[in-house]
């Protein structure tokens, strides 16, 4: 089963000015596609050829770093596209109550996400995640993922430089503020919480 490049869940200009259509063209059409293509090439003809992307990630972790990186980055990017929306919407009542309990308020959570993202050294991902009924902000470095971590990821923000350089140059905080204030998909986060298990990449 070859993995496919999942389509963006919105028009290419839907996230502007936080993220431009030009950035999405490169980020989705080139970076994400390259991870998918390399993951497919690595599993072709192997006993993982018919596995789900999540299974490939779990099998490759610690045993095949190249395959793990490409499979995990394929998953992370799919999850990231869904973590964004033209209109942020609002957390569900359940998620809102958990945010208040863990962080004080939605505004406080947004500030903490921005701080963690700005302070993250080099490339990686910042996540809002749930585990054992508690919310937390998690970070993964480079191509690592929460897909097989035991956490239920609710949202992620890509802090690799290619996610923002065309629009914000090296000003990562500017990118983070624009995305966190206006483009995080709280409906997606609420759905992930209600489901109670990690999102699966579309087959």
Q: What is the CATH number of the domain that holds 27?
A: 1.10.287.990
36 and 124, same domain (yes or no): no
183-200 pLDDT tens trace:
999 999 999 999 999 999
Look-up: residue for tokens 């409906």? Answer: 187
113 and 145, same domain (yes or no): yes
The answer to whether 172 and 159 have CB atoms below 8 angstroms apart is: yes
Give the residue from 83, 105, 137 where a domain finishes.
83
36 and 125, same domain (yes or no): no
Give the residue from 30, 62, 83 where a domain finishes.
83
130 and 51, same domain (yes or no): no
100 and 171, same domain (yes or no): yes
99 and 69, same domain (yes or no): no
We report the CATH number of the domain holding residue 152 as: 3.55.40.20
178, part of any domain? yes
32 and 111, same domain (yes or no): no
1, part of any domain? no
11, part of any domain? no
With 70 as the cut, is the pLDDT of residue 73 above it? yes
118 and 142, same domain (yes or no): yes
134 and 59, same domain (yes or no): no
55 and 101, same domain (yes or no): no
- Is this model's pTM higher than 0.85 or not? yes
83-132 pLDDT tens trace:
999 999 999 999 999 999 999 999 999 999 999 999 999 999 999 999 99
Q: What is the pLDDT of residue 203?
A: 75
16, part of any domain? no
Q: What is the count of structural domains for the chain?
A: 2
142, part of any domain? yes
30-68 pLDDT tens trace:
999 999 999 999 999 999 999 999 999 999 999 999 999
Q: What is the pLDDT of residue 1?
A: 67
174 and 144, same domain (yes or no): yes
133-163 pLDDT tens trace:
999 999 999 999 999 999 999 999 999 999 9
Domain limits for position 113: 93-195
107 and 25, same domain (yes or no): no
């Amino acid at each position: 089963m070859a993995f496919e490049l999942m389509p963006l869940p919105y028009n290419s200009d839907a996230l502007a000015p936080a993220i431009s259509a030009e950035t999405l063209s490169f980020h989705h059409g080139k970076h994400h596609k390259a991870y998918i293509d390399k993951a497919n090439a690595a599993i072709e003809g192997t006993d993982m050829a018919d596995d789900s992307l999540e299974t490939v990630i779990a099998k490759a972790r610690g045993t095949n770093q190249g395959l793990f990186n490409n499979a995990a980055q394929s998953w992370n990017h799919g999850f990231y596209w869904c973590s964004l929306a033209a209109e942020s919407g609002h957390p569900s009542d359940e998620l809102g109550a958990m945010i208040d309990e863990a962080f004080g308020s939605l505004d406080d959570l947004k500030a903490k996400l921005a701080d963690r993202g700005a302070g993250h050294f080099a490339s990686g991902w910042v996540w809002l995640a749930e585990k054992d009924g508690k919310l937390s902000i998690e970070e993964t470095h480079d191509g690592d993922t929460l897909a097989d971590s035991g956490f239920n990821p609710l949202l992620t923000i890509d802090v690799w430089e290619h996610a923002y350089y065309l629009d914000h140059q090296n000003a990562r905080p500017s990118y983070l503020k624009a995305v966190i204030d206006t483009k995080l998909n709280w409906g997606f986060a609420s759905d992930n919480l209600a489901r109670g298990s990690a999102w699966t990449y579309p087959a």
